[in-house]
Structure 1
Amino acid sequence: MIEINGVVKKYQQTTVLDRICETLPEGGLTSIIGANGAGKSTLLSVISRLLTPDAGSVSINGLDVANTPGKRLATELSILRQENHLTSRLTVYDLVGFGRYPWSQGRLTEDDRQHIERALTFLELVPLKDRYLDELSGGQRQRAYVAMVLCQDTKYVLLDEPLNNLDIKHSVAMMKQLRRAADELKKTIVLVIHDINFASAWSDHIIAMKAGKICYRGVPEEIMTAEVIGDIFDTEVSIEQVNNQRIAVYYRQE
């Protein structure tokens, strides 16, 4: 499990994470929701050691994130950030192969190649494996990045806004694939997501942040109420029941 103990992160005089204490459940899909600036992406970056907290600690399966060697940590935890800055003209196969670096150190073995093929197959990218990234649509490229993370073959997978720049069709497809990864590959997936209706439909557990603190936690049915969602986003909202799923409906306010 991922244990967060008293984590504080400040930028100059602004507190972005305010003494966060939380245990993220093992297995399944956990969504972190909240308004812009709530601290969601910062929390994910601290968990993955991309950012160093000003106070507190994070442990994964008993390993202190701050003190665990990078190579060891990369066999437990993988992360996909919002900003993907790979500008080289890479093929999909080459990109997905980067996920094997913690294991192969750049020298791919037959086992590594099998992991790459499995990730390509799982994300339905085999027909595109020889295509260059700049030749793909936004949805195809995003799937390739997720395949790279899954190819790393870690138990814990952190995703920061994996639905970024995807239309509804591709967002649904992405969430289905993440749900399959949690169920079939037994991954613990933690994602930051803006669309609370997608979080409601696909998550096992939801954590809601506001002003640098975790203000609500629970299963989707507990979070998807007009009172809770209204408080998180500071707006009026109605919760409707559609096909056994709770969805938030926002109304134009005069």
Structure 2
Amino acid sequence: MISVRNLTKRYESKEVVKNVTLNIEKGYITSFIGPNGAGKSTLLSMISRLMDVSEGEVTIDGITLKNWKSRELAKKISILRQSNNLNVKLTVRELVSFGRFPYSKGNLTESDERFVDQAIDYLKLKDIENSYINELSGGQKQRAYIAMVLAQDTEYILLDEPLNNLDMKHAVEIMKILRKIVDDLGKTVVLVIHDINFASCYSDKIVALQDGHIKYYDDTENIIDAQVLSEVFDMEFDVHHLGGKKICTYYQEGLCDCEVPGTPLTLLSKKVM
């Protein structure tokens, strides 16, 4: 379990994460949602030790985060940041192989190669594994970076907006893959996500942040609620039951002249979940 106690991040006098306490349970997909500036990415970065904390403490499986040796932590927890740019010329396979560095230090064994192959297959990158990263589309690059994280084979996988640059088809594929590795491999996935319907359809737990605080933290079923979401995002939501899932539509008066007042702005998600 990842345990967060009284976590605060402060830049001079401005607090962007404020006294956050929560337990992230093993074997689930936990999604961080909330408006821009709510502190989602900052909280994820502190949990992964990419960012120093101002106050509070994080423990992973009973060990305080600051006491983990870097190499051992890299075998326990992996993170994909929101923006990833490399200035070196690498193929997809070479990039994915970096995920094995905590184990091999660059000298890949047969076991390492199997993990690389598995990650490439999971992300459907086999046909472009020898292509250079700088030649790929944004969506292909994103899948390659996610494959690198999967190849790291950590118990905890942290992803900061993993659906960036992905079209609807590939976004659905990524969420299905994350669901599969949790259900089949027992991994624990924590992600920052903006699409409420993806969070609804694939998450087990949702942490709703607002202004650096946790506004709500509960099972997905209880968070995907019109009143809860309206409080978190300060806008109106409708929640519908479709195919056994809860699907959100949200409205903005005066955006367009529609035959039906309040025509939903997000209906595509209904067709792909």
Interval of TM-score (by shorter of Structure 1 and Structure 2): over 0.9
Q: Which residue of 2 aligns with 1:229?
A: 229
Structure 2: distance between partners of 1:167 and 1:117? 24
**What whole-Å deviation, never above 9, does each CA across 1:205-254 have from its counterpart, x for those lacking one?**
11110111111111221011111000000111111222221111111224
**What whole-Å deviation, never above 9, does each CA across 1:118-140 have from its counterpart, x for those lacking one?**
11122221221101112222222
Q: Which residue of 1 aligns with 2:124?
A: 124
Does 2:55 correspond to 1:55?
Answer: yes
Alignment of 1:70-109 (within 5 A): 70-109=70-109
Q: Which residue of 1 aligns with 2:216?
A: 216
Structure 1: distance between partners of 2:108 and 2:243? 47
Does 2:17 correspond to 1:7?
Answer: no
Q: 2:47 is aligned with what amino acid?
A: I
Give ranges in structure 2 of 5+ residues lacking alignment.
Answer: 255-273
Q: Which residue of 2 aligns with 1:196?
A: 196
Secondary structure of the structure 2 residue equivalent to 1:3: strand
TM-aligned CA deviation for residue 87 of structure 1: 2.3
Structure 2: distance between partners of 1:111 and 1:10? 43
Q: CA RMSD in A?
A: 1.0
TM-aligned CA deviation for residue 109 of structure 1: 1.6
Provide the TM-score with structure 1 as the length reference.
Answer: 0.97
Structure 2: distance between partners of 1:217 and 1:119? 31
Structure 2: distance between partners of 1:226 and 1:144? 36
Give me the identity figure in percent: 49
Secondary structure of the structure 2 residue equivalent to 1:75: helix
State which drifts further: 94-103 or 175-184: 175-184
Structure 2: distance between partners of 1:80 and 1:17? 20
TM-aligned CA deviation for residue 162 of structure 1: 0.2
State which drifts further: 116-125 or 48-57: 116-125
TM-aligned CA deviation for residue 113 of structure 1: 1.2
Q: 1:45 is aligned with what amino acid?
A: S
Structure 1: distance between partners of 2:140 and 2:230? 34
Structure 1: distance between partners of 2:44 and 2:226? 26
Structure 1: distance between partners of 2:122 and 2:244? 28
Structure 1: distance between partners of 2:207 and 2:180? 21
Q: Which residue of 1 aligns with 2:17?
A: 17
Structure 1: distance between partners of 2:250 and 2:120? 38
Secondary structure of the structure 2 residue equivalent to 1:66: helix
TM-aligned CA deviation for residue 43 of structure 1: 0.4
Does 2:159 correspond to 1:167?
Answer: no
Alignment of 1:121-160 (within 5 A): 121-160=121-160
Secondary structure of the structure 2 residue equivalent to 1:174: helix
Secondary structure of the structure 2 residue equivalent to 1:35: coil
Q: Which residue of 2 aligns with 1:180?
A: 180
State which drifts further: 143-152 or 106-115: 106-115
State which drifts further: 77-86 or 236-245: 236-245
Q: Which residue of 1 aligns with 2:206?
A: 206
Q: 1:216 is aligned with what amino acid?
A: Y
TM-aligned CA deviation for residue 112 of structure 1: 1.1
Structure 1: distance between partners of 2:140 and 2:165? 11
Give ranges in structure 1 of 5+ residues lacking alignment.
Answer: none
Q: 1:93 is aligned with what amino acid?
A: R
Structure 2: distance between partners of 1:181 and 1:11? 36
**What whole-Å deviation, never above 9, does each CA across 1:50-92 have from its counterpart, x for those lacking one?**
0111111101111211121111111100000001021222100
Structure 1: distance between partners of 2:208 and 2:144? 28
State which drifts further: 237-246 or 91-100: 237-246
